[in-house]
Amino acid sequence: MQEGAKLKVQEELNRHFTDLNGRFDARLSAVLAIRRAELSAETTGFSAKYECRAKAQYQKDLMGLLEEGMLLAVRNFKAKKHDGNRFTLLEISRIGPEHFGLRGLSDQSYYPYQFEIIEQSVSDWDTDDKATMMIQLAAIPLNYDLILSGLDQEYLKGFTYPIVGERVFILSKNTIHRMYNRRLLEEFGLTWNENRISTIAEARKDPRIGVIKMFQEEKDPIPIYVSFERLARYHFGIFSFTGGGKSNLVSNILRRIMYHQKTTKVVIFDISMEYPFLLQDVFSNTSISSKIITEIPVADAEHFRKIIVTPRKFEKADVTPTLKSILTMGRVGHFAEGSEHPPTYEDILEEIKLLAMDDVKKAVNLNAINQIRLKVLQWVKDKHAERSQTVTQPFLEYLQTEALSILDRFRVWKNSGLYAWASTRSELATLIEPEEKVKDDKSFGSERIVQLLEGDVRLLCLSIAEPSVIKQLAITLTSDMLRHRKREFQVDPQVLFVFDEAQEFIPAYEKARGIDSTCTQRIETLLRQGRKYGLGGCVATQRIAYLNTNALQQLHTYFVGPLPRPYDRSLVSSTFTIDQSILEKTLEFAPGQWLLSSYIATGMENAPIFITADNSETELEKFITARR
């Protein structure tokens, strides 16, 4: 009876775990408390509370099958309440083989003896000698418990102390697939199969963004899906050093959003001018309304090719037919710098806030600025105006008169920037007049660009290399969209703002001056408040240390590639609570490989996973070949 019961239990476990065809036999050997450094978190990063150690019996093929990032399960002290089927989940952070003879070898031993032992150990690794060798595993808690009940799996958030000495299990391929993807596949309306993984890299047919870096020696990879609605609405970041594949991943995600989300709109602030090429298949798709706004008028396809950035792989590729098609469809326009956007009461209050930041060490000036702010608020209250409304000429005259009176009363220096600001408020009256309609239908001012977003256009790419121009557009578009959504409490359609080379748009406050300061402040406001109104953000950069950390803390999903600078890794670790030992693994990544973690967009929330993203260039190559 006991043997039959044991076999039944083992059969149930085999439905959820794998021993890699009898090769993996391991036990938990220790659970170590991690002593945390007393230094700043930005300097040291985040470390898990515990590190678990396991010892696996050596098998010659096992080192080629085990991978860092694999998930382990160990029975914990709450297992008895669940018939022994409650497990603590761990993620492998280090793997290393150990040889008994080499470990006992001392540097003080006779030198020929040392060399003989080392040389003899080479042939041992190619055997299954369990008496001489073993494999050491280090793992960190995933902060989830797994409860099994027949075929059902339940995941509970939190850490339960695992039982030292218990057997260590590896979660099987199907369990990982179910864990990360089942709920999302159902949301996409795709078929879920318990015993078969069906996936394809083609963006139109499969909304996956890549494959999980586990069981790569096996034939069928495990796909990885994200909820595009939650990914966009709750903001996401992509961080990697130059050459890590940031733009490739961004274009990969945006392509799938366009194909698999019916209403989501995307605005790309493309200061590098690379997305017209990377998304040419989407821009030429007649079923997706799109528009590219360049800095200068585009004469023809040859001129178009010259002003956009082409990946090295496609420098000699013939994309003229596609570019001609995009131009013929009327999907390319150019930016026309007309009058500035009419100021609102909110804009005036933001300017006053910036003035206070500039004069933060001047007490008298701060008192005067506060009085001016109160005058503005009093006007808005008396006139029953909304902050989002455009200011009126009487208000500007009132503001200038009152501001100058206050500055004179506080004896503010007349050659100061504050006095110059106050004495020129009436000049803003010229901006209140409506902008003349542009006769050229290919010319777009800021007002027409806003109208594009409010219309049918789903993909809007602002390919403008001049920093001051594209930053002003970022300020205008984000402020206008947020203001409009607040006024009507509108959530749909969802709009995703993409900031590639994000250090240009949301620099740290200490590095921001002038328009940079305004830009970082407005985008931070978008990220803090936008998700309530269906406005999301994507932040991609190679130097996270240069970014506004207040903005970074609003991101709920992040893709992390190689970051060679320790400070960047520490900042990612502390900002997003990713264990440093897991982040170190990213240094070994090839282009296109990422650490993905999300609080809301993945099937398993806040459980870091290593993935290989689908290559956007492969999609482009097929498209270009088909167009010849």
**What span, in angstroms and rounded, lies between the C-alpha atoms of 204 and 220?**
20
Residue 273 pLDDT exceeds 80: yes
6 has pLDDT over 80 = no
Taking CA atoms, 536 is separated from 115, 493, 599, in Å, by 61, 11, 15
Q: Produce one character per residue of 244-268: b if its CB has 16 or more CB atoms within 10 Å, e if not.
A: bbbbbbbbbbbbbbbbbbeebbbbb
Q: Which amino acid is at 102?
A: L
> What pTM does this model have?
0.83
Residue of 291 and 215 predicted with greater confidence: 291
Q: Does residue 461 contact residue 335 with C-beta atoms inside 8 Å? A: no
| Residues 6 or more apart in contact with residue 28 via CB below 8 angstroms | 52, 53, 54, 74, 162, 163, 164, 165, 166, 167, 168
Are 568 and 576 a contacting pair, CB within 8 Å?
no
| Residue 184 in this model has a pLDDT that exceeds 60 | yes
Res. 616 pLDDT band, cuts 50 70 90: very high
Mean pLDDT over all residues of the chain? 88
Tell me the C-alpha distance between 429 and 617, whole Å. Answer: 50
- Determine the Cα–Cα distance for residues 619 and 591; give it in Å rounded to an integer: 16
The Cα–Cα gap between 332 and 290 comes to 9
CA triple 351-356-360, angle to 5 deg: 155
Of 187-191, 507-511, 616-620, the range with the highest mean pLDDT is 616-620
Helix axes 246-260, 616-627, angle to 10 degrees: 70
Q: Is the pLDDT of residue 433 over 70?
A: no
pLDDT tens digits, one per residue of 485-507: 888 788 889 999 999 999 999 99
How many angstroms separate the CA atoms of 258 and 261, rounded? 6
- Rounded Cα distance between 466 and 507, Å, is 17
Which strand (E) or helix (H) includes residue 394?
Answer: helix 393-409
Q: Please state, in angstroms and rounded to a whole number, the distance separating the CA atoms of residues 348 and 321.
A: 48
For the chain, give percent helix, strand, coil, nearest 5: 40, 20, 35
Return the pLDDT at 511.
80
Round to whole Å and give the CA distance between 245 and 542: 10
Structure tokens at 427: 């000049």
Amino acid in the structure at residue 236: F
